[in-house]
């Protein structure tokens, strides 16, 4: 019986992957790679791109292509067996990558290429790979003593296991909570589409009535529309206490100690490498140069936004009182009264626009947008092996008919699927002897699934999410860089990686685009222009509140990693309280345990980097302002963004690429204007 993980396939055969193959396959690849690297180093008296770097890129690609479907299926079709195999591989992968990074002979071999006459003959992309590699050797502790190298290895393995445990605890806590409602009156205020979703969820569990869960479409529907304040409180309490000491779930899922351990180990790793803090270490691979630059940037945004946020919240409080609300406005009231205020002020509701955004119409329209901007053609390919019946596969070709990329798209929330939305790499562009390997992406969201015979209907916010993730996907798929380590999103500074994604969101607000992405699911009627005008008028509704919320997360994340104090076991929550006192306008209840579910920084790649969303939003707003000057479908500007940003991947510094596109360095003005805060 062949092992599908080791077959040379263009796309993974998901259905054939067996859990029993995972660990042996990873063991085999890591062992072979280690021997190959030793052999490469022994075989040469002098090193070059061809005899060292390219063979290592081939090994990296093989490992990535095997691990990618394993990691992806762990996120989207999680079960106990798969989870165990996946978790058992993490320390092995961590040990391998650390051993590579600490291999002094390998480091000296790379350095000899950098110092040789050949280096100046290499392409910019190749030079960037060698420069990045030398930096990464140093960040992996290549210069440390043997004792410190060993400690670095232990820290890396522990962090790998702990961040995975954090995500597993959160997923288990989310899946464990449900509430069956038998009395329809308890759900008054919920729109019919939400009621249908809750009924369908109950039926899937062979129950009568309406089943509430902590999956995001259900949670947001209750928070936004449920008249029953006790019910809003109940689901809000369950959601914001997931994986914490305040949760009604298993205490073994409490992430509190795990968070402390993660931050402590990150600090120890940074200090081993000679950095003052993990925040300093984090910036070694980012555009921002010093922690003070990041905090000054965030504080500048806060100063510009806070007064507006306070006005937003005061107006909401006054409105709630008029509506008969008694007492203070609590966090389980804000979404509910915000939606009511939006409806009163702008005469439209989120629910009202959903019928105009059936998911397939939005997809086709989104594809039409990028086809116009970049001269592409996107088509669905049937019969491709996937992991779930709802998953679709598409290919992208350019104006010359050249295949540029492919992507799987998995749009709907379901049990045993990680929450949130993300793009991940399935296959990266890479030129090999047999030709160019075509990049393939995974695009994953958690939208409300189709209900009965009706299609999935998106809120306009979900339309933005889809455009956002597709922006990441385009960055991965449209690269023209032939070298693995800087193709697509590889090698891009982390605080610039959100530029193409946030840039794409701008098209969701253009009248010309509404004609492409909207169409009533029953009649095909386009979104009426009067509703779109109301949406535009409401675009910056509570934008001050939204801005300070993101700033709160960003400053909290950065300070937690900048100011670690091992003598203070409650420091994470102490810092959060200080940050909230400075920039938050919505009162946070004592039971709130938001950090225990903050996967971006405790399980994802955003540690001391959550500010990247705002940093990249400056870039994306400023980039889009050129389209505002020239026309949102201006072909020349579209091709310039394609050639200067999307095709270049990580082959040059992000600031250089941005400046080549925009003709100057970025400024904060466009972001403040787009957020309605400039005045």
d(CA 470, CA 457): 18
Q: How many Cβ atoms from other residues are within 10 Å of residue 572's Cβ?
A: 22
Show the CA angle centred on residue 70, arms to residues 66 and 74, nearest 5°: 165
Question: Which ranges constitute the DSSP H helices of 478-542?
Answer: 499-505, 511-517, 529-538
CA torsion through residues 74, 80, 84, 90, sign = positive
Kindly list the catalytic residues: 469
d(CA 12, CA 342): 46
The answer for residues whose C-beta is within 8 angstroms of residue 659's C-beta and 6 or more apart is 665
> Are the CB atoms for 379 and 394 separated by under 8 Å?
yes
The DSSP secondary structure of 602-655, one letter per residue, reads HTSS-TTTTTHHHHHHHHHHHHHHHHHHH-TT-HHHHHHHIIIIITTTTSS-HH
β strands within 507-627, DSSP E: none
Nearest one of 268, 178, 168 to 214, comparing CA atoms:
178
d(CA 531, CA 182): 35
The answer for residues whose C-beta is within 8 angstroms of residue 70's C-beta and 6 or more apart is 5, 17, 22, 26, 85, 86, 89
Show the CA angle centred on residue 576, arms to residues 562 and 174, nearest 5°: 110
> Are the CB atoms for 93 and 159 separated by under 8 Å?
no
Show the CA angle centred on residue 89, arms to residues 88 and 93, nearest 5°: 140
What distance, in Å, lies between the first and last C-alpha atoms of the chain? 67
Residue 426, φ and ψ in degrees, nearest 5: -95, -50
* SS3 (DSSP) at 406: strand
Helix axes of 543-562 and 291-322: crossing angle, nearest 10 degrees: 140
* SS3 (DSSP) at 276: coil
Tokens standing for 513?
């685009």
d(CA 163, CA 149): 21
Cβ neighbourhood burial of 69 (10 Å; 0-12, 13-18, 19+): buried
The DSSP secondary structure of 535-555, one letter per residue, reads HHHHTTTTHHHHHHHHHHHHH
Q: Helices then strands (H, E): number in the chain?
A: 27, 9
Show the CA angle centred on residue 31, arms to residues 25 and 35, nearest 5°: 145
Nearest one of 480, 493, 469, 387 to 68, comparing CA atoms:
387
The answer for residues whose C-beta is within 8 angstroms of residue 419's C-beta and 6 or more apart is 170, 171, 174, 215, 216, 413, 446
DSSP 594: G
């Amino acid at each position: 019986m062949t092992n599908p993980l080791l077959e040379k396939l263009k796309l993974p055969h998901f259905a054939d992957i067996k859990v029993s193959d995972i660990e042996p396959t990873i063991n085999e690849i890591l062992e072979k790679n280690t021997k190959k690297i030793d052999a490469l180093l022994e075989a040469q008296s002098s090193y070059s791109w061809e005899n060292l770097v390219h063979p290592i890129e081939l090994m990296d690609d093989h490992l990535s292509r095997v691990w990618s479907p394993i990691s992806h299926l762990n996120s989207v079709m999680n079960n106990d067996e798969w989870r165990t195999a996946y978790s058992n591989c993490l320390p092995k992968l961590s040990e391998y990558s650390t051993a590579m990074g600490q291999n002094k002979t390998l480091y000296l071999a790379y350095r000899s290429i950098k110092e040789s006459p050949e280096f100046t003959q290499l392409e910019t992309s190749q030079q960037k790979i060698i420069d990045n590699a030398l930096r990464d050797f140093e960040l992996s502790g290549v210069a440390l003593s043997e004792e410190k190298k060993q400690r670095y290895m232990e820290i890396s393995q522990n962090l790998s296991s702990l961040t995975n445990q954090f995500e597993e605890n959160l997923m288990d806590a989310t899946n464990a909570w449900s509430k069956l409602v038998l009395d329809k009156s308890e759900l008054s205020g919920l729109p019919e589409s939400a009621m249908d979703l809750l009924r369908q969820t109950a039926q899937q569990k062979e129950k009568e009535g309406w089943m509430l869960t902590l999956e995001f479409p259900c949670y947001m529907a209750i928070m936004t529309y449920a008249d029953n304040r006790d019910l809003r409180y109940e689901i809000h309490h369950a959601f914001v206490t997931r994986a914490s000491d305040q949760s009604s779930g298993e205490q073994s899922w409490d992430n509190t100690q795990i968070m402390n351990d993660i931050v402590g180990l990150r600090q120890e790793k940074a200090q081993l490498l000679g950095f003052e803090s993990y925040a300093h270490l984090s910036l070694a691979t980012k555009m921002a140069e010093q922690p003070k630059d990041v905090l000054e940037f965030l504080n500048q945004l806060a100063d510009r936004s806070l007064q507006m946020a306070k006005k937003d919240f005061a107006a909401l409080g006054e409105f709630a009182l008029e509506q008969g609300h008694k007492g203070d406005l609590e966090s389980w009231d804000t979404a509910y009264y915000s939606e009511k205020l939006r409806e009163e002020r702008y005469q439209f509701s989120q629910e009202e626009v959903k019928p105009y955004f059936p998911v397939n119409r939005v997809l086709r329209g989104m594809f039409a947008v990028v086809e116009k901007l970049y001269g592409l053609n996107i088509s669905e390919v049937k019969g491709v092996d996937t992991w779930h019946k709802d998953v679709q596969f598409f290919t992208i070709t350019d104006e010359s008919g050249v295949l540029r990329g492919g992507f799987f798209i998995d749009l709907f929330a379901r049990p045993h699927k990680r929450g949130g939305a993300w793009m991940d790499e399935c296959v990266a562009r890479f030129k090999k002897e047999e030709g160019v390997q075509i990049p393939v992406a995974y695009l994953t969201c958690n939208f409300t699934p189709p209900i009965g015979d009706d299609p999935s209907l998106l809120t306009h916010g979900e339309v933005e999410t889809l455009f956002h993730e597709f922006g990441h996907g385009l960055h991965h798929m449209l690269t023209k860089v032939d070298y693995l380590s800087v193709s697509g999103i590889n090698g891009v500074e982390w605080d610039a990686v959100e530029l193409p994604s946030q840039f794409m969101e701008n098209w969701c607000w253009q009248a010309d685009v509404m004609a492409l992405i909207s169409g009533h699911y029953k009649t095909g009627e386009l979104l009426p222009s009067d509703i779109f005008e109301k949406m535009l008028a409401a675009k910056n509704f509570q934008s001050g509140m939204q801005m300070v919320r993101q700033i709160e997360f960003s400053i909290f994340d950065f300070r937690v990693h900048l100011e670690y104090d091992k003598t203070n076991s409650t420091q994470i929550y102490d810092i959060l309280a200080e940050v909230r006192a400075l920039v938050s306008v919505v009162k946070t209840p004592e039971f709130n345990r938001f950090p225990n579910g903050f996967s971006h920084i405790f399980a994802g790649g955003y540690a001391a980097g959550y500010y990247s969303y705002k940093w990249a939003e400056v870039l994306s707003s400023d980039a889009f302002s050129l389209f505002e000057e020239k026309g949102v479908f201006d072909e020349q500007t579209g091709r310039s963004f394609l050639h200067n940003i999307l095709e270049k991947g990580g082959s040059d510094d992000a600031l250089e690429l941005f400046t080549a596109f925009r003709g100057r360095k970025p400024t904060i003005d466009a972001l403040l204007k787009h957020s309605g805060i400039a005045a």
